């Protein structure tokens, strides 16, 4: 047998012994490099073929042909693994997350990201919430409400400055979406929006009745910043009706001052139940410190604004409870 034939047989033995798993590729590379050093004339290189969606990898060994050109070696050992099983993919390949019965593909997640809007949540949490809603609506067969459809389309276009058909079509072209795909996508957004709207309307009145104090209209002043700076302003908060507000306004730049009317549950937590005139804080809050005072508090009224807020709050609590109960599995690898 020629030296080259002997080297090729050795190369085949090398390939048959390499570990065919993604996690072991470095080990395979080291083995191939050692083999290449033993056969310097062949200028051998290992090519790793990492298949998507599976830990299985394939190898080729490129060597220089003494008569010119390249010889590519590949070898598959007889390990008893059936062909289609060897070429199978992980059950969640191409998926980002499974939430109960919903398996969200990476492509769907990327599309979904376009419609995420909550600034107080990470995209990670909001995707889970959207999947929870998808679980709820996956059996819906009724056509999407025309009002929800229009509102979803308008909101989507407004959020991207797509004020006319031409700009919408240009945006679709840029995104690689056809008009029917866009309509399907908006249909999905509208269905999720419709579910949220129905749930808010259903849950809101009971939520308001259960804890009306959470929906008191409260006007207050609060300041955030370093604890020592806030402590120095406690007196200004106590006499906020008597020049204190002006004093706060002229304070140093360390302190951020807010004067606002909110529903009680929307206030910073330390102020929610405070009686008018009582100075609260400084207390640790949201990674900084907060002090404040409630100026006025009016008992909740069952009007449209309050019911809408109660619905939003109840729905977010419903989602939190569903999230707690849900089976959530991220497929990062």
Binding mask 62-81 for other proteins (x = CB under 8 A): ------------x-x-x-xx
From CA 256, how far away is CA 288, in angstroms rounded?
11
DSSP classification of residue 145: P
Choice from 65, 70, 91, 241 touching other proteins (CB under 8 A): 91
- Least Cα distance to 260 among 223, 290, 208, 312 occurs for 223
From CA 240, how far away is CA 249, in angstroms rounded?
11
- Least distance between other proteins and beta carbon 76 (Å): 4
Q: Is 154 helix (H, G, I), strand (E, B) or coil?
A: helix
Nearer to other proteins, 49 or 242 (CB): 49
Strands 45-50 and 57-64, how do they pair? antiparallel
Stretch that binds other proteins, among 137-145, 239-247, 263-271, 304-312 (CB under 8 A): 137-145
From CA 53, how far away is CA 93, in angstroms rounded?
5
- Least distance between other proteins and beta carbon 319 (Å): 21
**190: CB partners within 8 A, 6+ apart:** 144, 145, 148, 149, 151, 152, 153
Alpha carbon distances (Å) from 192 to 118, 135, 201, 223: 15, 10, 14, 38
From CA 285, how far away is CA 256, in angstroms rounded?
13
Binding mask 95-124 for other proteins (x = CB under 8 A): --------x-x-xx--xx------------
Measured in residues, the chain has a length of: 333
Written as six digits, the tokens of 136 are 């709820």
Stretch that binds other proteins, among 136-144, 207-215, 222-230, 256-264 (CB under 8 A): 136-144
End-to-end CA distance of the chain: 46
Partners of 280 in the β-ladder: 292
- Least Cα distance to 117 among 83, 175, 159, 56 occurs for 159
Nearer to other proteins, 192 or 272 (CB): 192
Nearer to other proteins, 89 or 296 (CB): 89
Choice from 29, 62, 94, 297 touching other proteins (CB under 8 A): 94
Stretch that binds other proteins, among 47-55, 165-173, 256-264, 311-319 (CB under 8 A): 47-55
- Least distance between other proteins and beta carbon 85 (Å): 6
- Judged by CB under 8 A, the chain residues 186 through 245 that form the site for other proteins are 188
Q: Are 191 and 148 in contact (CB under 8 A)?
A: yes
Nearer to other proteins, 81 or 116 (CB): 81
Size, binding site for other proteins by CB under 8 A: 38
- Least distance between other proteins and beta carbon 34 (Å): 24
- Least distance between other proteins and beta carbon 14 (Å): 16
Query: What phi and psi, each to the nearest 5 degrees, are found at residue 58?
Result: -120, 155
Binding mask 3-42 for other proteins (x = CB under 8 A): ------------------x---------------------
Written as six digits, the tokens of 210 are 């259960």
Please report whether residue 145 would count as binding other proteins according to CB under 8 A: no
Which residues of this protein are in contact with other proteins, per CB under 8 A? 21, 49, 54-56, 58, 74, 76, 78, 80-91, 93-94, 103, 105, 107-108, 111-112, 139, 141, 143, 178, 180-181, 184-185, 188
């Amino acid at each position: 047998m020629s030296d080259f034939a002997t080297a090729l047989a050795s190369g085949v033995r090398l390939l048959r012994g390499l570990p065919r798993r993604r996690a072991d590729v470095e080990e395979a590379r080291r083995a191939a490099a050692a083999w290449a050093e033993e056969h310097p004339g062949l200028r051998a290189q290992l090519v790793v073929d990492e298949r998507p969606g599976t830990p299985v990898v394939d190898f080729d060994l490129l060597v220089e042909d003494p008569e010119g050109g390249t010889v590519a070696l590949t070898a598959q050992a007889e390990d008893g693994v059936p062909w289609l099983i060897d070429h199978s993919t992980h059950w969640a390949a191409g998926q980002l997350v499974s939430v109960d019965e919903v398996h969200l593909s990476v492509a769907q997640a990327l599309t979904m990201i376009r419609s995420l809007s909550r600034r107080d949540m990470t995209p990670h949490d909001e995707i889970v919430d959207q999947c929870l809603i998808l679980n709820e609506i996956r059996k819906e067969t009724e056509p999407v409400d025309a009002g929800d459809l229009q509102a979803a389309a308008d909101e989507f276009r407004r959020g991207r400055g797509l004020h006319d058909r031409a700009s919408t079509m240009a945006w679709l072209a840029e995104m690689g979406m056809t008009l029917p795909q866009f309509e399907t996508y908006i249909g999905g957004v509208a269905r999720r929006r419709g579910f949220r709207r129905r749930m808010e309307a259903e849950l809101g009145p009971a939520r308001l009745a259960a804890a009306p104090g959470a929906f008191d209209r409260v006007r207050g002043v609060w300041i955030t910043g370093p604890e020592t700076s806030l402590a120095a302003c406690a007196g200004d908060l106590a006499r906020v009706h008597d020049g204190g507000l002006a004093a706060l306004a002229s304070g140093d730049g360390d302190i951020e001052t807010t004067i606002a009317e909110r529903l009680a549950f929307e206030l910073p937590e330390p102020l929610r139940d405070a009686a008018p005139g009582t100075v609260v804080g400084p207390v640790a809050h949201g990674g900084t410190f907060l002090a404040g005072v409630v100026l006025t508090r009016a008992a909740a009224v069952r009007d449209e604004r309050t019911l809408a807020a109660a619905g939003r709050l109840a729905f977010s609590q419903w989602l939190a409870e569903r999230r707690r109960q849900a089976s959530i599995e991220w497929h990062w690898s």
